[in-house]
Amino acid sequence: MKNHPDLTKKDYEIITELGRNREGGRVSYLAKKISNEEQVVVKQFRFFCADTTWHGFKIYTLW
């Protein structure tokens, strides 16, 4: 069993993990929108990790 988040209630299905960023506590996933099969990238922010800081999050909120 894969340890991917279950986003089916939000109309998304995780396909595979793309990568991890230890500094920002982020995990990137390739996913698809169930209703139209569109591929998307989902970023999961994990602030409970020991080395995680707000620095990585602030960079993403600027975009």
- The domain segmentation of the chain, as residue ranges, is 8-61
pLDDT tens profile 6-44? 999 999 999 999 998 766 678 899 999 999 999 999 988
Q: Which residue has the higher pLDDT, 63 or 12?
A: 12
* pLDDT value of residue 63: 42
Q: Are 39 and 30 in contact (CB under 8 A)?
A: yes
What distance in Å separates the CA atoms of residue 49 and residue 30, rounded to the nearest whole number?
A: 22
Query: What pLDDT does 20 receive?
Result: 86
Angstrom distances, CA of residue 42 to CA of 2, 26, 46, 52, 54: 16, 10, 13, 18, 19
CA distance 52 to 21: 9
